[in-house]
Structure 1
Amino acid sequence: MNPKIRTFKLPELASGYAGDISSGQYIELLEFANLDAPVQADEVRLEECRFTSVAVESLRNARLMQCELEQIGAPSLNAAGTFFNDVRVAHSRFGSADFAEAELDGVVFENCKFGWLNLRRAKVRDVLFRNCQFEEIDFGGQIQRVSFIDSRTSVLNGIGAQLRDVDLQGLDFAQVEGLESLRGARISSLQLSLLAEDMAQHLGIRVAP
């Protein structure tokens, strides 16, 4: 089943400034662009906001609803415990993106690059990755109705994952860890052939030369 992505259109937004963002704030209908300092928005609630050409360091326990993030730079993003609902992230680069124990619902990542994407103990539902690149994806959470289109990763780590209706056909991967945890995923026949040797080793099957 494909992700259920809900469309939204942001209204006219007022200009936001770095001083508008502080821990625990409720922020709505603002656009933040080209800020001089990296954003630290722990425990902030953001509704109908846009971030453009901004560096982000921390969104720990933040809540983002109907927000757009474009050209975001984050060498090391702490997004543990965040809640993303109807969020679009485009043309952004993350050295590491730690979404441990986060909840992502109705999120689109498009034209993004990740070093390490950590979804351990996260709840991820209705998420689409389009034209994204990863060094490693850690799927160690509850992953439901997630799809990849024209994406690639060096390592796909499924250890501890609970997958349901996850479509991996549009994800090229070089290495898979935790094969037994990929139950509930859909792969192509080509991907199956690439995994055949690893699957045989996992099952204790010896393949004759």
Structure 2
Amino acid sequence: MQTRTFGRLQLTLPALDEPGLYLSNVTSLESGRGHVQDFQYTDAGLRALDLADTQLITGRITSLRASRVQLQSVNLHAVEFDSCDLGSVQWSESKLSRAVFRNCKIMGADLDGLALDDVLFENCKLDYTAFSRIRAAGPVVFTGCSLAEASFTGCDLSDTVIRECSLRETEFRAGRYHDLDLRDTDLSTVRGITHLKGITINRGQQPQLTQALLTELAVTYGDGID
């Protein structure tokens, strides 16, 4: 079992290189049986990827390029995405467990109603993505990612780690953020700062939070007004 530790959080990752495990090359992620298991899907270029009511179990997806992706009730278990460009993604009502997204572009996505358990986003571009009703059912980590102008709405990110990420004008709307770990991330342009009750930061980030709050309150300084 492969694990990685981020602060107080320990992630269990897909064990895809275990002795005795063989991943078969597949030419499609579609299956009439409703699941694809022990698979490897590599270097595919698609105009559209549409999947519904599908289980992807124990597999690696590498260098997938798709202009449009629509996933409805598509559950992942022990699946790794590496160096994928998923274009415009709409992904809803699904559960992801022991999943890794590494060096991926998932920009302008609409992610709605996803339950995440042992999920890692590493060095991914997630700019302009709308995270709606995302629930951290277990450990979730974003590290080295760009989340510029992304938004989180109605999410439960309790005990989630967002570490060394770009949060330029990222908006946190009403949700649950208790013990959300935002250490080592610039918070000075974050929006919705008043919703982030109970988060964890370094002491050196206090001026960043102050700057974000003053911007949100549209404070006017009285020096020289009179």
Is TM more than 0.5 here? yes
Opposite residue 136 of structure 1, the aligned amino acid is E
Tell me the TM-score normalised to structure 1 length.
Answer: 0.87
Q: Quickly say closer, same or farther: Cα 1:182–1:43, change in 2 above 3 A.
A: same
Q: Deviations over 1:143-182 (max 9, x none)?
A: 1221123211212211112112111113224422222210
Report runs of 4+ in structure 1 exceeding 4 Å deviation.
200-209
C-alpha distance in structure 1 between counterparts of 2:26 and 2:99, whole Å = 18
Of 100, 125, 132, which aligns to 2:145?
132
Of 184, 201, 213, which aligns to 1:199?
213
Give me the CA root mean square deviation. Answer: 2.4
C-alpha distance in structure 1 between counterparts of 2:24 and 2:212, whole Å = 54
Q: What is the match of residue 157 of structure 2?
A: 143
Q: What is the match of residue 3 of structure 2?
A: none
The answer on whether the counterparts of 2:92 and 2:111 sit within 8 Å (CA) in structure 1 is yes
Deviates more, 1:22-31 or 1:146-155: 22-31
> 1:208 Cα deviation (Å)?
6.2
Query: Which secondary structure does the structure 2 equivalent of 1:195 belong to?
Result: helix
- The unaligned stretches of length 5 or more in structure 1 are none
Q: Deviations over 1:33-52 (max 9, x none)?
A: 11232432222111101111
Query: Which secondary structure does the structure 1 equivalent of 2:166 belong to?
Result: strand
Between structures 1 and 2, the one with greater strand share:
1
The answer on whether the counterparts of 2:14 and 2:99 sit within 8 Å (CA) in structure 1 is no
Query: Which secondary structure does the structure 2 equivalent of 1:193 belong to?
Result: helix
> 1:189 Cα deviation (Å)?
2.9
Pairs within 5 Å for 1:166-181? 166-181=180-195
> 1:65 Cα deviation (Å)?
0.4
The answer on whether the counterparts of 2:50 and 2:70 sit within 8 Å (CA) in structure 1 is yes
Q: Quickly say closer, same or farther: Cα 1:47–1:177, change in 2 above 3 A.
A: same
Q: What is the match of residue 52 of structure 1?
A: 62
Pairs within 5 Å for 1:23-38? 25-37=34-46, 38=48
Of 8, 16, 20, which aligns to 2:14?
8
> 1:111 Cα deviation (Å)?
1.2
Tell me the TM-score normalised to structure 2 length.
Answer: 0.81
- The unaligned stretches of length 5 or more in structure 2 are 1-6
The answer on whether the counterparts of 2:192 and 2:216 sit within 8 Å (CA) in structure 1 is no
C-alpha distance in structure 2 between counterparts of 1:2 and 1:156, whole Å = 24
C-alpha distance in structure 2 between counterparts of 1:40 and 1:103, whole Å = 20
Q: What is the match of residue 187 of structure 1?
A: 201
Opposite residue 104 of structure 1, the aligned amino acid is L
Aligned residue pair count: 208
Question: Which structure's CA Rg is the greater one?
Answer: 2
Q: Deviations over 1:92-124 (max 9, x none)?
A: 112222221111111011111112232221112
Q: Quickly say closer, same or farther: Cα 1:193–1:28, change in 2 above 3 A.
A: same
C-alpha distance in structure 2 between counterparts of 1:137 and 1:26, whole Å = 31
Instruction: State the structure with bigger RCO (CA 8 A, min sep 6), 1 or 2.
Output: 1
C-alpha distance in structure 2 between counterparts of 1:80 and 1:23, whole Å = 20
> 1:79 Cα deviation (Å)?
1.3
Q: Quickly say closer, same or farther: Cα 1:27–1:187, change in 2 above 3 A.
A: same
